[in-house]
């Protein structure tokens, strides 16, 4: 990453360092990169402002009107060499630190591959085959949430199973955003697991397990928030039995088991892909996008 390091003023009120992130597109790439970096700093170190669609001089000037009124650190992810140079020049004049998030990596790839990059920000969000695959995956996943669509369960790339409140739905949606067709099936001790789940071939499904005490707390919050009638739904002993029952079921079905206690959805999704040895979503299938 190319850098220009200068002073890093903090705001008088909060002590946070202003951190401006400029992008010539949606800013998602820069946002994800930054999210990784800031986890390694104490909470409250930075006050972040995203500046997306800085793809022309007029927008760049507006961004720098804000930056000059409250100088801080500038990160940028733009593909235009002219805009990169202009950002660097303006940061030098303001005597603020700046860093190009993508420049050195792009230059490295171009040099190693001996291919000149296109430098077109519109290519970041093309409506192409991969986009079609993600849209179809989202539709499939919503149609196969919480035991729906059991007759086409085998068409899923991934099937998640687990007792209530083990994070199946949010994990399914996150994986669908990556392009995977996901179905999830909620299990209950007193109900026989659906036959389509039992008939799945190996390497298709993952069983989700969570610490019973935490699960009981999650269910209690849900029961209270939804003003539900008091049942054994959140009883610690009953929850312990459910979790152990699901663990035995997964073992009987030779289904890999994933412990998700205190685990972020992103990590859960990555571990699922690793368990099932999935590195790329399936190609876009011939389905009508709705």
Number of domains in the chain: 2
- Residue-range definition of the domain harbouring residue 256: 129-275
Determine, yes or no, domain membership for 284. no
Cβ-based neighbour number of residue 76 at 10 Å: 26
pLDDT digits (tens, 9 = 90+) for 97-139: 999 998 888 788 888 889 988 888 777 767 778 889 899 999 9
The per-residue pLDDT for 257 is 98
Helix 236-252, helix 212-225: angle, nearest 10: 120
The per-residue pLDDT for 100 is 94
The per-residue pLDDT for 64 is 97
Which structure tokens are listed for 253?
A: 């079905």
Residues 18 and 142 in one domain: no
Residues 22 and 6 in one domain: yes
The per-residue pLDDT for 109 is 85
Read off the pTM: 0.76
CA–CA dist 85, 281 (Å, integer) = 37
Last residue of a domain, one of 67, 89, 124: 124
Determine, yes or no, domain membership for 192. yes
Determine, yes or no, domain membership for 120. yes
Q: Which regions of the chain are under pLDDT 50?
A: 12, 288-290
CA–CA dist 258, 163 (Å, integer) = 13
């Amino acid at each position: 990453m190319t850098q220009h390091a200068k002073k890093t003023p903090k705001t008088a009120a909060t002590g946070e360092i202003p951190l401006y992130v400029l992008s010539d597109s949606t800013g998602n790439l820069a946002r994800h990169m930054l999210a990784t970096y800031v986890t390694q700093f104490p909470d409250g170190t930075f006050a972040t402002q995203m500046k997306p669609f800085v793809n022309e001089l007029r927008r760049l000037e507006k961004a720098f009107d804000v930056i000059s009124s409250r100088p801080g650190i500038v990160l940028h992810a733009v593909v235009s060499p002219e805009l990169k140079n202009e950002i660097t020049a303006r940061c030098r004049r303001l005597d603020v630190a700046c860093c190009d998030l993508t420049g050195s990596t792009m230059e490295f790839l171009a040099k190693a591959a001996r291919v000149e990059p296109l430098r077109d920000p519109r290519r970041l969000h093309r409506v192409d085959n991969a986009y079609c695959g993600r849209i179809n995956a989202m539709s499939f996943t919503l149609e196969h949430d919480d035991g729906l669509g059991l007759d086409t369960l085998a068409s899923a790339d991934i099937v998640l199973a687990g007792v209530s409140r083990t994070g199946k739905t949010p994990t399914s949606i996150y994986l669908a955003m990556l392009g995977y067709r996901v179905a999830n099936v909620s299990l209950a001790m007193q109900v026989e697991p659906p036959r389509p789940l039992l008939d799945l071939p190996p390497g298709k499904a993952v069983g989700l397990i969570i610490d019973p005490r935490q699960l009981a707390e999650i269910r209690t919050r849900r029961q209270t928030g939804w003003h539900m009638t008091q049942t054994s739904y959140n009883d610690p002993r009953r929850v312990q039995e459910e979790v152990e029952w699901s663990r035995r079921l997964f073992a009987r079905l030779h289904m890999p088991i994933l412990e998700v206690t205190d685990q972020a959805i992103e990590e859960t999704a990555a571990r699922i892909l690793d368990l099932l040895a999935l590195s790329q979503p399936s190609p876009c299938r011939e389905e009508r996008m709705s």
